[in-house]
Every structure is written in structure tokens, then in C-alpha cells.
């Protein structure tokens, strides 16, 4: 008799499966002496409360209290027999785990009978279906209360049918879902999880083809006259992807009362953790520091910004000795508020110098915080120059900002002059400005393209300089990421050019003045 030989991949998958079922079994301890009456009483009580049901039967996954958006999403999904929802939830929001708990409850209570799990590939869909299978097979609490679910002859990885009468099947995008039936039940729950890939999102035609498959081949497998639920789980990883198209469809169906698009970032609109019971501010800050800004925006903030589409060089270089500059400019771009929250505008103060056509960003302060710290940054950068060059300080001050400058910033300026013993004068820059994004691109992109925009290499590890460079790197005309730093640099560059131009204008002296001057010299 021939022996079945396992490949290294088979062995790895088998080990992963064994670990999964062991963890499910260990986390679902029971009291074997529970009576039938006790079991039925528990089922009735838990089935009336979704969160209590999840907490008891899925203790391994229900490790902390859910956020409000979790509970609302579950109520929407469980409360409608016909529903279309998109959960564009950030990573670390348990969207796959919650969907599994919801679907298993619907299956065990016989509210759904035929579940399809769709992902970007067959392998990924099968991997996402494994926890469903492991819990139906080894979850002791499910087995005690709802009976053994493993059905002999219908229990294969990627496709299985439970004793409760519900079937599950994993399908990769593009594969044929036709003929998917469980006896006479057509699919009544389609979970589309992790459908988009970075590679496909770079090709609009591939997204178009995949969306066509979803709408023309997948969803029509459901019965028009029966129950049906469609749930998308994913992130907005590109401006055009299946998730963004699904969001548009959900919004359209929302007008009919059968759809909803839920976009949840790791931090809410106020810049604080959307799920503080699980993700603390310190945890979020630490984890985001491990990845690039573009990756963080895409995976955790549903903001697919691209790197280098406009500012492609972003050169770090050595700054010439400061005494080589004709003069230097400290330019500040204020933000009226004093919020340190992650969604607040940035305050920016940059020390700039121009030499032989090259604009040097010598020091930068780009932060969220107090107005006093904004003015303090001017003094810090002035001290950095140390008298090696003439310094002119400007602050952006349009008509809307003028009251703020006079009533708030000048008070801090006067007090800090006394504190530092420096009679620093900050000149309001009242020049009228055009559109922010267009102005930044038009005036700074050519300099970056030609290698004439240079960031001080000695400041490369500064958190402020990193934020400034990130804002340049993420810059798009649609401003998907803050551009307060680049706006400050652009304002400072214009101030330098304006000052240099004034210095180079010929001085016209009237004849009467010349006579007075000559008389004085005699």
C-alpha cells in the first residue's frame, strides 16, 4: 500500500491547523454536568444578546469589550434579512473575527443556510475560512449547546457542511461560483474579505474586471426572492478599488434602507483611539512608528496616499556655513487652535536660506500644540543662527489671521522677548496667496525636480524634519495628507525672493536730497 507523502507546505499547513483546533478546544472549556434544561436556558438567554453570545461561545476572540461601532454594525447585520454592508475598518479592529462570530450565530440559529467566503485568491479564502471550520469542529461550548457540527462526508478544507444544516465554501476572486447550493438553498450570506491587492489596484482594468465578476457572477448566485446578506470587509487601499466601489453601492442602497457603508479608522475624527478598550494611544503611536507614513495612512486611516507622485527627489544635503548666506528667513505658518489631537492642523516654523539658486531648509518645527510654542520656535531658530547671518522673521497673516496675530501671537511675542532678552521682530506676511496646493506644486516642485530644494542632513533624524519631509512625500493636489509644512516652506521661499528683489532694486535719490547729502559731507 502506497504511503501518502506530505510536502513541506502540507506539513506546515497541518501544523497550523493542529495549533488552531487545539487553541479553540482549550479556550472553550465547559461543565460536562450541565443538564439539558440548563443548556436550553443558557441558549435562550444568550441568543437574545449578541454580545453575550459572542463572549461565551468565542472567548478566544472576545478578549476585550467592543466599541460602540462594533455593536451598531452587528445590530444592522443581524437585524436585517436583506442587507448590504461595507466595513472599511482599520487594521486592529477585529473585522474578520466579528464577521465570523456573527455568521456562526446566524448559522447555528438557522437564519443562514449557505455561506460563501470570497477573497483575492482561493488560498486566502481557504485560510480565512479555517477558523469557521475549527470552531464548528472543536469548540466545546458550541458542541455542548448546539450538538456536534462535523458532518462526515461533507467536511473538507475550503468546503464543508455542518449538522445544523449550513454549508460553507471558500472561493477566490474570479472563480466560478455558479451552482453553489446546499440542497435547495442558494447562497444567503456572502462575506467578501480582503478582496483588493496592491498589485491589482495599480491596474484599473483589473479592478474593473473583478468588480464585474462580483456583480455579474457572484451576487446573482443569491435568490432574488429569499434572504440575502452581503458583507465587505477591507481597507480603502486605493482611490479606485473594490471597497470604494462597494462603498458607493452601499450608499446607494442606503437610500432604500438595505445598505450601509461604515468607515472606521484606528483614530476617530478627534484624533483619539476608535477602540480605546483595545488600542491605547501609546500602543498606536508605537506601532505606527514602525511603518512608513504612506503605509499607516492606507492601512490604518483608509487614506491611500502615494509616495513621490509630485515631490520625487526630496534631497538631504549639507548646509553651507550660515555666514555664506546673504540673509536667512524664519517663516511661520500658524494654526489658531491649540489641540494636540492627531486630526488638528500643524503649526510650522522653518529656518530657510537661499544660496546660488538652492533653497536650504536648515531647521524645521512642524507640530500640533500651543501658540506659545509656535512663537518659541522663532526664538529657538534665531538662536541657532547665532549672529552668523542677518535674520528676517515672518508669519503668515492674511485678513482672517490678522486678528489672531494681533490678539494672541503678539502677546506671546512680547513676553518671550523679555524672557530671552532678544528684541526679535516678526513681520506679518500679508501678501495675498492663491490656492494652497497649486501654489506649493508650482513654486516648489520645479526646485525639487532640479535638486534645488535641500533639507539639512544634520536634521534628518529630527521628528519635526521627518514630519515635514513626509508631508512633502505625501503631497497631492487633492491634499489627502496635511501640507502645512510645505505651505510654510513655500511662504518662506517667496519671502526670501521678495526680500532679495527689494535689495537689488536701484535706489532713486531726489536732487534736493543729493544737495542735502553733499552739504552734510562738506
99 has pLDDT over 80? yes
101 has pLDDT over 70? yes
Whether the CB-CB separation of 385 and 368 falls below 8 Å is answered with no
| CATH number assigned to the domain comprising residue 100 | 3.40.50.300
Residue 49 buriedness (CB in 10 A; 0-12 / 13-18 / 19+): exposed
Angle between helices 242-254 and 204-213 (to 10 degrees): 50
- Identify the CA nearest to 485 among candidates 507, 520, 504, 459: 459
In this prediction, what percent of the chain has a pLDDT beyond 70? 92
Which of 280, 306, 323 corresponds to the end of one domain? 280
347 and 484 assigned to the same domain: yes
Confirm whether 287 is domain-assigned: no
Residues 6+ apart with CB under 8 A from 251: 259, 261
Confirm whether 246 is domain-assigned: yes
Give the phi and the psi of residue 383 in degrees, each rounded to 5.
Answer: -65, -35
174 and 123 assigned to the same domain: yes
370 and 433 assigned to the same domain: yes
Instruction: Specify the DSSP class assigned to residue 431.
Output: -
Q: How far is C-alpha 452 from the geometric centre of its chain's CA atoms? A: 32
Dump pLDDT digits (tens) for 375-424.
999 999 999 999 999 999 999 987 666 678 888 899 999 999 999 999 99
The arrangement of strands across the sheet holding 259-264 comes to 150-156, 159-162, 167-172, 114-119, 189-193, 228-233, 82-89, 259-264
More confident residue, 209 or 503: 209
Whether the CB-CB separation of 262 and 246 falls below 8 Å is answered with no
371 and 252 assigned to the same domain: no
Dump pLDDT digits (tens) for 438-447.
999 999 999 9
- Identify the CA nearest to 120 among candidates 219, 289, 234: 234
Whether the CB-CB separation of 325 and 353 falls below 8 Å is answered with yes
- Following CA atoms 65, 67, 71, 77 in sequence, which dihedral angle do they give, to the nearest 10 degrees? -120
Confirm whether 61 is domain-assigned: yes
Q: What is the mean pLDDT of residues 348-371?
A: 96
Give alpha helix (H) positions in 139-277: 140-146, 198-201, 204-213, 242-254
Q: What is the mean pLDDT of residues 499-516?
A: 56
Give the phi and the psi of residue 487 in degrees, each rounded to 5.
Answer: -65, -40
Dump pLDDT digits (tens) for 449-504.
999 999 999 999 999 999 999 999 989 888 888 999 999 999 999 999 999 987 65
Instruction: Place 144 in a pLDDT band, splitting at 50, 70 and 90.
Output: very high
Whether the CB-CB separation of 246 and 101 falls below 8 Å is answered with no
Handedness of CA 449, 452, 455, 457 (dihedral sign): positive
Residues 6+ apart with CB under 8 A from 215: none
Give the phi and the psi of residue 297 in degrees, each rounded to 5.
Answer: -65, -40
54 has pLDDT over 60? yes
Confirm whether 319 is domain-assigned: yes
Q: Which region among 56-70, 106-120, 395-409, 474-488 has the lowest average model confidence (pLDDT)?
A: 395-409
110 and 232 assigned to the same domain: yes
85 and 202 assigned to the same domain: yes
3-state secondary structure (DSSP) of residue 363: strand
507 has pLDDT over 50? no
Q: What is the mean pLDDT of residues 215-236?
A: 95
Residue 468 domain boundaries: 315-504
Q: Can you tell me the distance from the alpha carbon of 202 to that of 213, in angstroms, rounded to the nearest whole number?
A: 18
Domain count, the chain: 2
All 3 cell numbers of residue 302?
483608509
CB atoms within 10 A of CB 262: 17
pLDDT at position 514, please?
41
| Beta strands per DSSP E along 43-121 | 82-89, 114-119
Instruction: Place 112 in a pLDDT band, splitting at 50, 70 and 90.
Output: very high
194 has pLDDT over 90? yes
Confirm whether 291 is domain-assigned: no
> Mean pLDDT, the chain, as a whole number?
90
Which of 280, 303, 337 corresponds to the end of one domain? 280
| CATH number assigned to the domain comprising residue 422 | 3.30.420.320
Q: Can you tell me the distance from the alpha carbon of 117 to that of 467, in angstroms, rounded to the nearest whole number?
A: 40
- Identify the CA nearest to 336 among candidates 406, 434, 392: 406
Confirm whether 160 is domain-assigned: yes
All 3 cell numbers of residue 434?
492663491
205 and 73 assigned to the same domain: yes
Residue 25 buriedness (CB in 10 A; 0-12 / 13-18 / 19+): middle
Dump pLDDT digits (tens) for 237-272.
998 999 999 999 999 999 999 999 999 999 998 889
Q: Can you tell me the distance from the alpha carbon of 458 to that of 462, in angstroms, rounded to the nearest whole number?
A: 9
pLDDT at position 308, please?
61
Q: Can you tell me the distance from the alpha carbon of 295 to that of 340, in angstroms, rounded to the nearest whole number?
A: 22
Angle at 492 between CA 486 and CA 494, to 5 degrees: 105
Dump pLDDT digits (tens) for 317-358.
999 999 999 999 999 999 877 776 766 789 999 999 999 999
> Using DSSP, how many helices (H) and how many strands (E) does the chain show?
19, 15
Give the phi and the psi of residue 96 in degrees, each rounded to 5.
Answer: -70, -40
365 and 223 assigned to the same domain: no
Handedness of CA 162, 163, 164, 165 (dihedral sign): positive
More confident residue, 15 or 180: 15
366 and 466 assigned to the same domain: yes
Which of 280, 299, 329 corresponds to the end of one domain? 280
288 has pLDDT over 60? yes
18 has pLDDT over 90? no
Instruction: Specify the DSSP class assigned to residue 344.
Output: S
Q: Which region among 51-60, 139-148, 153-162, 499-508 has the lowest average model confidence (pLDDT)?
A: 499-508
**Three-class SS of 213-246:** HHHHHHHHHCCCCCCEEEEEECCCCCCCCHHHHH
Confirm whether 440 is domain-assigned: yes
307 has pLDDT over 70? no
180 and 328 assigned to the same domain: no
216 has pLDDT over 50? yes
Q: What is the mean pLDDT of residues 93-97?
A: 96
Instruction: Place 515 in a pLDDT band, splitting at 50, 70 and 90.
Output: low
198 and 272 assigned to the same domain: yes
- Identify the CA nearest to 169 among candidates 178, 179, 180: 180
Confirm whether 302 is domain-assigned: no
203 has pLDDT over 80? yes
pLDDT at position 87, please?
98
* Longest Cα–Cα distance in the chain: 123
156 and 23 assigned to the same domain: yes
Amino acid at each position: 500500500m502506497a504511503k501518502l507523502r506530505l510536502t513541506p507546505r502540507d506539513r506546515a499547513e497541518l501544523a497550523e491547523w493542529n495549533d488552531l483546533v487545539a487553541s479553540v478546544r482549550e479556550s472553550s472549556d465547559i461543565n460536562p454536568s450541565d443538564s439539558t434544561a440548563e443548556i436550553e436556558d443558557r441558549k435562550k438567554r444568550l441568543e437574545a444578546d449578541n454580545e453575550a453570545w459572542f463572549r461565551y461561545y468565542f472567548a478566544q476572540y472576545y478578549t476585550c469589550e467592543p466599541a460602540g461601532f462594533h455593536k451598531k454594525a452587528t445590530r444592522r447585520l443581524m437585524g436585517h434579512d436583506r442587507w448590504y454592508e461595507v466595513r472599511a475598518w482599520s487594521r486592529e479592529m477585529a473585522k474578520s473575527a466579528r464577521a465570523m462570530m456573527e455568521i456562526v450565530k446566524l448559522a447555528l440559529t438557522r437564519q443562514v443556510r449557505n455561506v460563501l467566503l470570497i477573497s483575492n485568491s482561493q488560498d486566502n479564502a481557504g485560510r480565512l475560512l479555517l477558523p469557521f471550520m475549527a470552531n464548528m469542529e472543536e469548540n466545546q461550548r458550541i458542541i455542548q449547546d448546539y450538538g456536534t457540527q462535523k458532518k462526515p462526508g461533507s467536511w473538507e478544507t475550503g468546503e464543508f457542511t455542518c449538522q445544523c444544516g449550513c454549508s460553507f465554501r471558500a472561493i477566490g476572486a474570479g472563480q466560478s461560483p455558479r451552482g453553489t447550493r446546499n440542497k435547495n438553498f442558494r447562497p444567503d450570506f456572502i462575506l467578501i474579505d480582503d478582496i483588493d491587492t496592491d498589485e491589482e489596484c495599480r491596474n484599473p482594468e483589473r479592478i474593473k474586471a473583478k468588480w464585474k465578476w462580483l456583480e455579474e457572477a457572484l451576487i446573482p448566485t443569491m435568490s432574488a426572492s429569499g434572504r440575502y446578506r452581503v458583507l465587505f470587509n477591507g481597507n480603502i487601499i486605493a482611490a479606485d478599488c473594490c471597497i470604494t466601489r462597494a462603498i458607493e453601492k452601499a450608499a446607494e442602497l442606503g437610500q432604500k434602507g438595505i445598505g450601509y457603508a461604515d468607515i472606521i479608522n484606528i483614530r476617530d475624527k478627534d484624533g483619539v483611539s476608535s477602540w480605546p478598550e483595545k488600542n491605547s494611544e501609546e500602543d498606536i503611536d508605537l506601532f505606527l512608528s514602525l511603518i512608513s507614513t504612506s503605509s499607516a495612512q492606507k492601512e490604518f486611516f483608509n487614506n491611500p496616499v502615494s509616495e513621490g507622485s509630485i515631490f520625487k527627489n526630496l534631497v538631504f544635503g549639507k548646509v553651507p556655513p550660515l555666514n555664506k548666506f546673504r540673509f536667512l528667513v524664519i517663516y511661520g505658518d500658524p494654526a489658531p487652535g491649540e489641540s494636540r489631537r492627531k486630526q488638528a492642523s500643524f503649526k510650522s516654523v522653518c529656518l530657510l536660506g537661499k544660496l546660488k539658486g538652492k533653497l536650504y531648509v536648515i531647521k524645521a518645527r512642524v507640530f500640533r500644540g500651543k501658540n506659545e510654542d509656535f512663537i518659541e520656535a522663532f526664538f529657538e531658530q534665531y538662536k541657532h543662527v547665532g549672529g552668523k547671518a542677518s535674520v528676517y522673521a515672518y508669519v503668515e497673516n492674511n485678513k482672517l489671521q490678522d486678528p489672531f496675530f494681533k490678539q494672541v501671537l503678539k502677546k506671546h511675542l512680547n513676553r518671550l522677548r523679555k524672557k530671552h532678552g532678544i528684541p526679535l521682530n516678526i513681520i506679518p506676511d500679508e501678501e495675498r496667496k492663491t490656492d494652497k496646493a497649486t501654489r506649493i506644486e508650482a513654486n516648489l516642485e520645479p526646485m525639487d525636480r532640479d535638486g534645488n530644494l535641500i533639507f539639512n542632513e544634520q536634521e534628518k533624524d529630527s521628528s519635526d524634519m521627518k514630519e515635514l519631509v513626509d508631508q512633502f512625500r505625501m503631497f497631492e493636489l487633492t491634499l489627502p495628507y496635511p501640507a502645512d509644512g510645505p505651505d510654510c516652506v513655500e511662504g518662506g521661499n517667496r519671502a526670501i525672493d521678495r526680500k532679495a528683489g527689494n535689495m537689488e532694486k536701484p535706489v532713486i535719490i531726489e536732487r534736493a536730497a543729493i544737495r542735502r547729502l553733499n552739504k552734510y559731507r562738506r
